[in-house]
């Protein structure tokens, strides 16, 4: 029987952002320069495919620094792209570990914005999700008690600061742009003297991916977001697709997770990928649809991203092969 026709509306930009690309490069370059093992505190980015690929190359992922055996203290340990509290590099120095910081420069910018608020005598309001590594890292830049976490508009409506006239806010970089606006508006309504950061905290990649999904979602019978369940920016894309008009939207890590029963009768399917999801998985999912449908790919591009973040100075002299670059780029 002939395959049913299907339009795959492929969003762009999608997938790896400059911060993720830089973090993966740092691990690959450290392995080339220092040999295995190279230790990484927490997942370098929130994607199992990437983590397992780095493990195959010789990276060892640990939850905390004390898990690194003494005989390997001369080997590099790398901090993830999400950022870490100040206590982590302090602990590394006490243990005489050689560490490399893969924190995304845009997350580091939020750290600096929060510290500036605090230095100028403001209590810091951090808009973000409790327990997310980036939130833990940002709160860990400041003295205990000098920052409060607000997650929702409802939280903002009941938040009671120590000094309502001396407040400054920053946000997690991977939030929903629209939802965050609502939280900020509620805070500003209650605290007119609330000071914004010098620049928007939500990163360009989060904003661009959400805007692309928002434009592509109307008319989609289903929308697939490639990403991990613990990836904040990927989960926000699922929400954005539903709010923008997709009839259903789901998060999948690989093609085998697609529930094909829910794809019966679909004619237009949107596809995007969170900032930690490699392009190779997007291609895998497109091929899975082509096996079942007469699929036509329609590009839904919005802006072209040209951002590039330099890796740590200690690694800039290490060359990358074509195969290395393909892995780093998620191809």
Using pLDDT thresholds of 50, 70 and 90, give the confidence band for residue 198: confident
Catalytic residue among 64, 134, 154, 279: 134
* Distance in angstroms (rounded) separating the CA atoms of residues 324 and 42: 22
DSSP state, 263? G
The matching CATH number, chosen from 3.40.190.10, 3.40.50.10470, 3.30.2010.30, 3.40.1010.20, for 106-190 is: 3.40.1010.20
Share of the chain above pLDDT 70, in %: 100
User: Which contiguous run of DSSP H or E holds residue 226?
Assistant: strand 222-226
Q: How far is CA 265 from CA 86, 122, 217, 268, in A?
A: 52, 55, 17, 10
Which tens digits make up the pLDDT trace of 155-189?
A: 999 999 999 999 999 999 999 999 999 999 999 99
Fold (topology level) of 18-104+308-328 = Rossmann fold (3.40.50)
Pick the closest to residue 173 from 239, 140, 128, 114 (CA basis).
128
Judge whether 261 counts as a catalytic residue: no
Task: Give the per-residue pLDDT at 326.
Answer: 87
Which residues are CB-contacts of 304 (< 8 A; sequence separation ≥ 6)? 13
Helix 204-216 and helix 232-243, axial crossing angle in degrees, nearest 10: 30
CB 193 within 8 A of CB 167: yes
Beta strand segments in 35-79, E: 38-41, 59-62, 76-79
Could you tell me how many helices (H) and strands (E) the chain has, helices first? Answer: 11, 12
Is 106-190 in the same CATH topology as 5-16+204-301?
A: yes
* Distance in angstroms (rounded) separating the CA atoms of residues 82 and 42: 9
Task: Give the per-residue pLDDT at 120.
Answer: 96
Using pLDDT thresholds of 50, 70 and 90, give the confidence band for residue 82: very high
Using pLDDT thresholds of 50, 70 and 90, give the confidence band for residue 200: confident
Residue 277: what are its φ and ψ, rounded to 5°? -95, 125
What mean pLDDT is reported for the chain?
96
Which tens digits make up the pLDDT trace of 211-231?
A: 999 999 999 999 999 999 999
Using pLDDT thresholds of 50, 70 and 90, give the confidence band for residue 329: confident
Token pair, residue 222, equals 């289903």
Q: In this model, does residue 330 exceed pLDDT 90?
A: no
User: Which contiguous run of DSSP H or E holds residue 23?
Assistant: helix 18-34
The matching CATH number, chosen from 3.30.420.40, 2.60.120.10, 3.40.1010.20, 3.40.50.720, for 5-16+204-301 is: 3.40.1010.20
First to last CA, the chain: 33
Which tens digits make up the pLDDT trace of 1-57?
A: 899 999 999 999 999 999 999 999 999 999 999 999 999 999 999 999 999 999 999
Pick the closest to residue 45 from 328, 276, 311, 278 (CA basis).
276
Q: Is 245 left (phi over 0), alpha (psi -120 to 50) or beta?
A: left
Using pLDDT thresholds of 50, 70 and 90, give the confidence band for residue 81: very high
Q: How far is CA 315 from CA 25, 199, 230, in A?
A: 9, 29, 29
The domain locations on the chain are 5-16+204-301, 18-104+308-328, 106-190
* Distance in angstroms (rounded) separating the CA atoms of residues 132 and 152: 15
Which residues are CB-contacts of 100 (< 8 A; sequence separation ≥ 6)? 26, 30, 76, 77, 78, 79, 312, 314, 315
Task: Give the per-residue pLDDT at 331.
Answer: 83
CB burial readout 76-90, b (16+ within 10 A) else e: bbbbbbbbbbeebee
Using pLDDT thresholds of 50, 70 and 90, give the confidence band for residue 199: confident
User: Which contiguous run of DSSP H or E holds residue 135?
Assistant: helix 133-139
Beta pairing class for 38-41 and 222-226 = unpaired
Cα 187 to chain center, whole Å? 25
pTM above 0.85, yes or no: yes
Task: Give the per-residue pLDDT at 276.
Answer: 94
> Count of alpha carbons within 13 Å of 263, Cβ hemisphere only?
22
Task: Give the per-residue pLDDT at 164.
Answer: 95
Rg (C-alpha) for the chain, rounded Å, is 21
């Amino acid at each position: 029987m002939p395959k049913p026709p299907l339009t795959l509306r492929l969003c762009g930009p999608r997938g790896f952002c400059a911060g993720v690309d830089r973090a993966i490069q740092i691990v690959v370059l450290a392995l080339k320069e220092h040999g295995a093992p190279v230790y990484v505190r927490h997942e370098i980015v929130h994607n199992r495919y990437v983590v397992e690929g780095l493990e195959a190359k010789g990276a060892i992922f640990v939850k905390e620094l004390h898990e690194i055996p003494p005989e390997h203290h001369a080997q590099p340990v790398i901090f993830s792209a999400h950022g870490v509290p100040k206590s982590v590099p302090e602990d590394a120095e006490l243990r005489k570990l050689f560490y490399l910081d893969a924190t995304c420069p845009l997350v580091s910018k939020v750290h600096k914005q929060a510290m500036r608020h605090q230095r100028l005598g403001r209590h810091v309001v951090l808009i973000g999700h409790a327990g997310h590594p980036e939130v833990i890292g940002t709160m860990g830049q400041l003295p205990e008690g000098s920052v409060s976490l607000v997650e929702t508009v409802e939280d903002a409506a009941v938040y009671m600061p120590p000094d309502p006239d001396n407040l400054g806010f920053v946000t997690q970089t991977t939030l929903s742009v629209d939802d965050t606006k609502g939280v900020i508006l509620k805070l500003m309504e209650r605290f007119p003297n609330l000071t914004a950061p010098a620049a928007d905290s939500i990163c360009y990649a989060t904003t661009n991916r959400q805007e692309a999904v928002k434009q592509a979602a109307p008319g989609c019978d289903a929308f697939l977001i490639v990403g991990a369940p613990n990836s904040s920016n990927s989960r926000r894309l699922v929400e954005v697709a539903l709010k923008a008009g997709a009839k259903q939207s789901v998060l999948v890590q690989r093609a085998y997770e697609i529930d094909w029963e829910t794809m019966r009768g679909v004619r237009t399917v949107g596809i995007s990928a969170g900032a930690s999801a490699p392009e190779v998985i997007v291609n895998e999912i497109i091929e899975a649809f082509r096996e079942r449908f007469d699929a036509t790919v329609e590009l839904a591009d919005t802006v072209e991203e040209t951002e590039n973040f330099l890796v740590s100075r200690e690694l800039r002299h290490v060359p990358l092969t074509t195969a290395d670059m393909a892995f780093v780029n998620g191809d």
